[in-house]
Amino acid sequence: MSNDLEKQLVEIESKLADVVAQKEREIVFEQISQQRFEQNLQTFQQYYPDVYNSITQYKKRDDFKFIVREGGFADFIPAGHDIPLYGVDIEETVATQVERYRNKAFFSMTKYGFGVKSDDIRIHIQYMHALDEHLADFYAQDLTPISKLPEHFPSAIIFGVGLGYHIPLLLKQHSFDYLFISEPDLELFYASLYCIDWSSIIKKIDEEGKTLFLQVGVSYKQFFATLSAVAADIGAFSLVRSYCYQHYPSPEVNQLIKEFFQRYSDFQLGFGFYNDAITGLAHGIENLNKGYEFFYKEPKAPKFPYADVPVFVIGNGPSLDDAAGLLQQVKDRAIIFASGTALGSLLKMGIDPDFHVLVERPKITYDILLDTQPKEVYEKLNLLTVDVMYPDVLELYKWAGVGLKGPEASTFFLYQYIAIKKQKLLKAMPNCGPLVVNTALSYAVSMGFKEIYLVGVDNGYINQATHSKFSIYSDENLDFKRTVNKNARHKLEGNFGGVVMATDLLKVAKTQIENLINTSKNTFFYNVGYGAKLEGAHPLIVEDVFIPKTAIDKDKVVADIKSRFFTDFELNVTEADINFKLLNDVCEHMIAIAEEPYHSRVEASDLLMRQARYLYAFNGTKFTYIFHMVKGSLLYFHCPMLTMLYSVEEEKETLEHFEKVRKLWVGYLNDIKNDFPLNWNTKCDWGLEQRKV
């Protein structure tokens, strides 16, 4: 036999052996993977029923098939792709990736410093002064930033599951209090159930008291909405210091990551704080006791007969200038809501709005109103506002209607109080913050109007202009001109192209508007002008707005709105209705946790987590208003405290700085419990006079 023939026979025998070995691997994998799949399925049914439903409803494509590699690892060719996800040596590939991401870790990071420079003597502001000093001292130290992933870290976000081989390997070496795993491709997640032991992962995390959040088959928009909901449910501290891990590149996974980092700052806005909460509670109670009418829709009320009347929600953005002529034309054919300072601009145009809308609770709102218009102007106007509004503001107007703002201590207290006393369930105004234009739009939607035009609602600055030229902000003689925030760092897509620059707050306001539009079916929204583009709203230039020339009986429409949607509940809250003891006990318990001994950053982190979980246990109960009294202040401290713990390598120095802030936080809690019984019904006294001191 020739050498060539012998060589060919050896090659044939080798290939046959490979085929046999491959077949044997596939048979073994099929048996093991099917058992693993069934066990995983049972666990998802127990712990994550929504994920379970998605899995059981998923229909595999005809060519769904695993490629079983040596060592029992399976590979997979995702739909729409030509090559497998991993390659030949899956074990080494994944192990190398995990090791690389452990040693050169990437973290979300906020360098906290609240920049509080004010003569405001309220408790929260004073503690922010002190916290700023401690944080500045900490950051001034020459310490080594963490670069490798510690054995324990507060949070992790894994972008992409693939077949999941990296997850047990990572969790074998590290633990996280909050673990977020997102896989936009439902097919890949489905395939992972055959490849890794999800059941053991889930049960181990549960037994250790940690938390796992799964997002499967979600778009980047759903992804961030879910993260936002989680932050609201368990606290923003669960996300502000996160280890970030990308398992595989894809347009969908890349978009998740982009969305997270573009909107990361959103988690750290709108915390609220104790003085805001107690002031809002005092205002809400007084507004109810004074007999102001609250927004309430009877469940079986007759259909709103004026739903088809056009509504114009007016903001005070620079694009309002272009709409002066339009508003003159339609003022007798539409209902006009003036948001905050847009009132002054409209009055200069010769337009009287049907409703003025206000939302800010401090006394300064009252002072500014008197500083900008004569009292006689307000005496002719209707006001739409929220429960936390400074009560003297409502007295200025011909009529005032009040909506529940939420999520606020005042809102939850009044909701429960009215429900018990009158068996009426009021709903908080949806997406009504952070700015007054959000409140105005929320009212228009909640009343049931089906055709809503947004004018001057720019959600940003156009060519460096911040407000309409008719605005009070252009008046150099007014003291509060300096309150305009020009720190616009976000580039938003314009309604007709171009870029609109937005501050953090304006960016959040835009998102809230889009959320409201997205949930308001059968309502048409028109975004008029050259402000920021609003997803879900039809873009229109002023010249293209068409309103039928039929005049409406505006007095009749406004009267119907008042009688149909607003009720005086004739109630009177007294000191006996406030649970002073519970708030005292909550603060005492949190102080007791904070004062337990700790010797490592993990133990210090655990104290914070236990405090937070204790407080958040009151959320969603009949004591939710007590939760909101403390929640904002907790977030203002816990977010920087947790970030501080896991920012630098030097643990000893970190704990020394942490201890100083811990003592400050305990002092804050003591002041809260002592102040609440004294000032639960004290109105805000921080106005223009105090700001001039």
Give Cα separations from 530 to 215, 492, 669 (angstroms).
36, 12, 47
What residues does each domain of the chain span?
292-567, 578-689
3-state SS string for 474-514: HCCCCHHHHHCCCCCCEEEEEECECEEEECHHHHHHHHHHH
Q: How far apart are CA 48 and CA 122, in angstroms?
A: 44
Q: Hunting for tokens 């739903």 — which residue is that? A: 307
**Please, which pLDDT band fits residue 693 given cuts at 50, 70 and 90?**
very low
**Structural tokens at position 158:** 């894994």
Q: Output the pLDDT for position 630.
A: 97
Round to whole Å and give the CA distance between 435 and 456.
13
- pTM here is 0.87
pLDDT in tens, 511-541: 999 999 999 989 999 999 999 999 999 999 9
Helix residue ranges, H only, 349-492: 363-372, 375-378, 391-395, 409-422, 436-447
User: What is the band of 208 on the pLDDT scale with cuts at 50, 70, 90?
Assistant: very high
The three-state secondary structure class of 74 is strand
119, two tokens: 């003569």
Mean of pLDDT over the chain: 88
> Residue 338 — very low, low, confident or very high, per pLDDT cuts 50/70/90?
very high
Contacts of 594 (CB under 8 A, 6+ apart): 607, 611, 662, 665, 666, 669
| Higher per-residue pLDDT: 70 or 553 | 553
With the CA atoms of 322, 326, 327 and 328 taken in that order, what torsion angle do they form, in degrees rounded to the nearest 10? 120
Distance separating alpha carbons of residues 99 and 340, to the nearest angstrom: 55
Tokens found for residue 547: 């309103």
Quick one: pLDDT at residue 274?
A: 95
* Model pLDDT for residues 539-549, shown as the tens digit of each residue: 999 999 999 88
Q: List the one residue out of 605, 691, 660, 670 whose CA is nearest residue 133.
A: 660
Strands, E, within 503-593: which ranges? 524-528, 538-540, 566-567
pLDDT at 10: 45
Strand ranges, E, within 38-170: 66-68, 74-76, 106-107, 152-159
Distance CA 407, CA 411 (A): 7
* Under 8 Å between Cβ of 455 and 318: no
> For residues 211 and 232, what is the distance between their CA atoms, to the nearest angstrom?
15
Is pLDDT of 488 > 80? no
Region 195-207: mean pLDDT is 96
Q: In this predicted structure, what is the pLDDT of residue 11?
A: 55
Q: What is the pLDDT of residue 196?
A: 95
SS3 percent helix, strand, coil of the chain, rounded to 5, is 50, 15, 35
pLDDT score at 471: 54
Q: What is the rounded CA–CA span in Å between residue 433 and residue 417?
A: 23
Q: What is the pLDDT of residue 478?
A: 55
Residue 486 is predicted with a pLDDT of 57
Residue that has been written with the tokens 């049931």 in this structure: 448
Q: What angle do CA 615, 428, 120 make, to 5 degrees?
A: 60
Tokens 């097919």 belong to 187
Residue with tokens 């007798």: 332
Among candidate residues 506, 571, 573, the one with its CA nearest the CA of residue 534: 506
Tell whether the torsion through CA atoms of 133, 136, 141 and 147 is positive or negative.
Answer: positive
627-667 tens-digit pLDDT: 999 999 999 999 999 999 999 999 999 999 999 999 999 99
Q: How far apart are CA 608 and CA 514, in angstroms?
A: 34
Cα(648)–Cα(239) distance, integer angstroms: 18
pLDDT in tens, 7-22: 554 455 455 455 555 5
Q: How does pLDDT run across 225-267, given as a tens digit for each residue? A: 777 777 777 776 677 788 999 998 878 887 877 777 666 566 6
Average pLDDT over residues 300-312: 93
Nearest to 344 by CA among 361, 325, 320, 326: 320
Query: What confidence score (pLDDT) does residue 651 get?
Result: 94
pLDDT per position as a tens digit, 180-199:
999 999 999 999 999 999 99
User: Please, are residues 348 and 470 in contact by the beta-carbon 8 Å criterion?
Assistant: yes
Percent of the chain with pLDDT over 70: 89
Residues 6+ apart with CB under 8 A from 45: 52
User: What does the block give as tokens for 30?
Assistant: 């099929």
| Ranges 23-27, 331-335, 447-451, 551-555: which has the least confidence | 23-27
Among 73-77, 350-354, 365-369, 654-658, where is mean pLDDT lowest? 73-77
Rounded to an integer, what distance in angstroms lies between the CA atom of residue 567 and that of residue 571? 11
Only one residue has tokens 């996160």, namely 242
Q: How confident is the model at residue 114 (pLDDT cuts 50, 70, 90)?
A: low
The dihedral through the CA atoms of 530, 532, 535, 536 has a sign that is negative
